[in-house]
């Protein structure tokens, strides 16, 4: 009896698709991934609809939307809805050995036999941060050990490049920047350091006195390129171990990143395109077509159904997401042309996205003092710079109605209220007693001080 295929899933935290050369970025940030992806299938329009990490990985690892998982927030109270199974739990029942690297503090990490940790943060005081090399130091020996067992395995690697702090080692620091980041004439970083909730966090990892936003953006791109170089070591090891032919390798991200976009400086909050659009690549010789790029829309809830379909595993689970394997093999698939989007990171908002329009509706005042309703024409205004909520009231009302109808249907199907409505202490400040009443209150309350605090915020998710 032939051995079941292995699964190696590379989840890259905070990787926005449009900053990868794989997706047409003008900087050559992912040359190794670009070459590797030619041996598989690339999905060109993949979205992470439920921001941030906690809810996004929950979708990715269950094949369910936020109504199915019952998880929407970074600091979510409670765990999965009853009956939810993770990808690791499903494969464990099929005889797989399961290991994850760098994935503690998330409900979706449930079911792994082994959890390996590495240092994936950093600060200016500590110096340049070799996050991906730290990951490889754990991942490569484990990959070799799993290969020796002769049993099928699932290895999940959670890369923390290019998650902030952006501190890629040299020469990647200046790979995409040759200017003067301390030029006193450059004022572009002034609004960044004026943003009180995050300025202490920025000050602890950005160069003291930095003035040029383009230098910080180049650090993000350098972190992507550094990670890409380290991932090549993983690809080479897979080949050296003779695992190529019988291993499905998947590469994706939990969400993107806002850099200097929409005042959501150098973080991953906001329901704008830089945060929602993520990469998605499948590769397995003989099972996944080579050199294919597919333009249809899909979301992260299709990742688990697709993986199981390729592996030949058929659990008795009704997923919200649909397998993408048929489309890879030439069958027609109805793309997810419109879908519900949510955020509970530093703001509590939801909305509705279609190929032409995006509606964003704040469920409480946000710390950026943005309007309650935002409406963008994604065709005429792809960078979402012009809010048309007042000018196109009928369009906004139509999208609001479609969103409300969808919510009502999913609440009826799951028998639970929308978690976006019930998770009122998403911000983690119990003394507030519920939602923020004003933007000023949110601005004065929310704060992130240093990478250690950021790490605790993510780890707190499963403890609540």
Considering only residues 108 and 299, tell me which one the structure prediction assigns the higher pLDDT. Answer: 299
Alpha-carbon distance of 452 to 460, in angstroms, equals: 12
Residue 232, Cβ density class (10 Å: 0-12 exposed, 13-18 middle, ≥19 buried): middle
Residue 393, number of CB atoms within 10 A of its CB: 12
- 1 pLDDT higher than 80: no
Whole-number average pLDDT of the chain = 94
Per-residue pLDDT band for 455 (boundaries 50, 70, 90) equals: low
Global confidence as pTM = 0.95
179-209 pLDDT per residue, tens: 999 999 999 999 999 999 999 999 999 999 9
Where are the chain's structural domains?
6-328, 339-463
Question: Quick check: 456 pLDDT over 70?
Answer: no
Task: Match domain 339-463 to its CATH number in 2.40.440.10, 3.40.50.10810, 3.30.1120.10, 3.40.50.1580.
Answer: 3.30.1120.10
Q: What is the pLDDT of residue 335?
A: 83
pLDDT at 78: 76
Question: What is the average pLDDT across 237-255?
Answer: 97
pLDDT classification of 457: cutoffs 50, 70, 90: low
Mean pLDDT computed over 294-300? 95
For 25, left (φ over 0), alpha (ψ -120 to 50), or beta? beta
Which pLDDT band holds residue 451 (cuts at 50, 70, 90)?
Answer: low
Nearest-angstrom CA–CA distance, 50 and 66: 7
The percent of residues in the chain predicted with pLDDT above 70, rounded, is 96
pLDDT tens digits, one per residue of 407-439: 999 999 999 999 999 989 999 898 998 999 999
CA distances from 216 to 21, 27, 124, 264 (A): 19, 15, 13, 14
Give the torsion through C-alpha atoms of 452, 347, 274, 386, to 10 deg. Answer: -150
CATH number of 6-328: 3.40.720.10
Report the C-alpha gap between 126 and 133 in whole angstroms. 16
105-125 residue pLDDT tens: 788 899 999 999 999 888 888
Say if strands 6-12 and 247-252 run parallel, antiparallel, or are unpaired.
parallel
The band of 2, judged by pLDDT with boundaries at 50, 70 and 90, is: low
Tell whether the model's pLDDT for residue 243 goes beyond 80: yes
Task: Give the whole-angstrom CA distance, residue 81 versus residue 78.
Answer: 9
Per-residue pLDDT at 275 exceeds 80: yes
The pLDDT value recorded for residue 249 is 98
Helix 303-311 crosses helix 53-62 at what angle (to 10 degrees)? 30
Q: Is residue 72 very low, low, confident or very high in pLDDT (cuts 50, 70, 90)?
A: very high
pLDDT score recorded for residue 334: 85
Helices (H), 182-267: 190-194, 196-205, 213-240
Using 50, 70 and 90 to split pLDDT, how confident is the model at 454?
A: low
């Amino acid at each position: 009896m032939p051995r079941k295929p292995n699964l190696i899933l590379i989840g890259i935290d905070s990787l926005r698709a449009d900053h990868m050369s794989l997706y047409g970025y003008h900087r050559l940030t992912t040359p190794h991934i670009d070459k590797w992806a030619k041996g598989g299938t690339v999905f060109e329009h993949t979205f992470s609809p439920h921001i941030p990490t906690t809810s996004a990985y929950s979708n990715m690892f269950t094949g369910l939307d936020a109504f199915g998982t019952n998880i929407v927030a970074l600091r979510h109270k409670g765990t999965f809805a009853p009956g939810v199974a993770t990808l690791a739990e499903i494969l464990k029942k099929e005889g797989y050995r399961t290991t994850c690297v760098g994935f503690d503090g998330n409900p979706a990490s449930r079911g792994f036999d082994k959890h390996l940790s590495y240092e994936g943060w950093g600060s200016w005081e500590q110096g340049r941060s070799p996050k991906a090399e730290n990951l490889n130091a754990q991942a490569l020996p484990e990959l070799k050990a799993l290969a020796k067992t002769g049993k099928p395995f699932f290895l999940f690697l959670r890369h923390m490049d290019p998650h902030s702090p952006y501190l890629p080692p040299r020469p990647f620091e200046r790979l995409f920047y040759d200017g003067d980041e301390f030029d006193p004439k450059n004022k572009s970083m002034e609004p960044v350091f004026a943003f009180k909730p995050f300025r202490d966090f920025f000050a602890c990892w950005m160069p003291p006195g930095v003035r040029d936003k383009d230098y910080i953006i180049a650090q993000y791109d350098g972190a992507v390129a550094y990670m890409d170089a380290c991932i090549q070591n993983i690809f080479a090891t897979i080949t050296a171990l003779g695992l190529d032919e019988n291993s499905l390798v998947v590469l994706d991200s939990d969400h993107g990143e806002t850099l200097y976009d929409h005042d959501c400086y150098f973080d991953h909050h906001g329901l704008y395109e830089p945060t929602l659009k993520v990469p998605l690549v499948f590769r397995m010789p003989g099972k996944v077509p080579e050199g294919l790029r597919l333009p249809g829309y899909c979301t992260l809830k299709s990742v688990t159904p697709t993986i199981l379909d390729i592996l030949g595993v058929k659990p008795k689970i009704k997923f919200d997401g649909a397998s993408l394997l048929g489309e890879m093999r030439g069958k027609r698939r109805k793309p997810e042309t419109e879908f519900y989007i949510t955020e509970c990171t530093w703001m509590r908002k939801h909305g509705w996205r279609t190929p032409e329009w995006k509606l964003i509706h704040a469920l409480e005042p946000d710390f950026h003092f943005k309007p309650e309703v935002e409406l963008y024409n994604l065709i005429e205004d792809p960078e979402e710079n012009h809010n048309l909520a007042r000018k196109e009231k009928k369009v906004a009302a139509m999208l609001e109605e479609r969103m409300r109808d969808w919510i009502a249907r999913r609440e009826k199907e799951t028998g639970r209220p929308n978690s976006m409505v019930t998770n009122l202490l998403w911000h983690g400040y119990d003394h507030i007693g519920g939602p923020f009443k004003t933007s000023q209150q949110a601005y004065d309350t929310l704060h992130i001080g240093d990478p250690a605090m950021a790490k605790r915020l993510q780890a707190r998710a499963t403890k609540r």
